Structures are given as C-alpha cells and as structure tokens.
Amino acid sequence: MSLWPARVLSMLRIVTALLFLEHGLMKLFHFPVAQPGAPDPLPTLLVVAAVLEIALGVLLALGLFTRIAAFIAAGEMAAAYFLGHLPAGFWPGVNGGSEAILYCFIFFYIACEGGGGWGIDALRDRRAVRS
C-alpha cells in the first residue's frame, strides 16, 4: 500500500492539470469550445490567465517544475476568485467561484506535497539518487 499515495497524488495532479489546461485552451483558442461566459475579445487580464493556464497546465501534467508551477497556479486561482467571483456575491455556489477555490487548494496542496511518483521531476530525482 505504500506505493499508492504517490500514485494517487500523481493522478490528482495529472487530471487537475488537464482540466486546468482545457480552461486556458477554451479561453484562448475556443478549443474544444469557447469558454462559456468569457467575453470576446478577451480583456488583457483573461489573456494572461489563459496563457498561464496553458503553460502551467502543461508543466503540471508533465510533472515538470511541479511545486513552483502549482504555487503559481494556486495564486492565479486565488486572484481569479477575489477579482472575478467575489464581487458577484459572498457565497461560492452563487458567485460561480467554487471551481476556482477548489483549484486553488488542490494546487496549493500539490505545491506543498510535490507531484507524486509519476512525472519528470520524480524521474530526475530518481536519477539523481542513482548518481
């Protein structure tokens, strides 16, 4: 059973990263569809958010620079909540911010815990131990 926590952490990181990446792709490239509710054209702040979501989503999915990428992603999601959702009301279920809060805390957990056993960072760490 000692192998499972690292594997499940990797699965959490990969699935969360791919969903995060999808949000950036929907904003910037309308792939697979346009981001629901996003203005067209995107304001500069949302373009920056989309670029971050794509770049950080790829890094996190690969498990490369995992801790710093997750920390930046957590910060982006905190900013998204406070700038984009909180002004619409206090309750996350009402202001549409539940997903931003969840992403924020998952990414913060990954920043603290690391990316698990599957990823480029873990591969580099294993190679460094052998050297």
What is the residue whose two structure tokens read 């990316």?
115
Whole-angstrom distance, CA of residue 93 vs CA of residue 49? 22
Cα–Cα distances (Å) from 90 to 2, 16, 59, in that order, read 41, 25, 32
What residue type is 92 in one-letter code? P
Enclosing H/E stretch for 42: none
* Positions of E strands within the chain: none
Whole-angstrom distance, CA of residue 47 vs CA of residue 105? 23
Per-residue pLDDT of the chain (131 residues; tens, 9 = 90+): 587 999 999 999 999 999 999 999 999 999 999 888 888 889 999 999 999 999 999 999 999 999 999 999 999 999 999 999 999 999 999 999 999 999 999 999 999 999 998 999 989 888 877 76
Cis before 32? omega within 30: yes
In this prediction, residue 38 carries a pLDDT of: 85
Does the predicted TM-score (pTM) go above 0.85? yes
Q: Give exposure, 37-76, as e/b (b: 16+ Cβ within 10 Å).
A: ebeeeeeeebeebbebbbebbbbbbbbbbbeebbbbbbeb
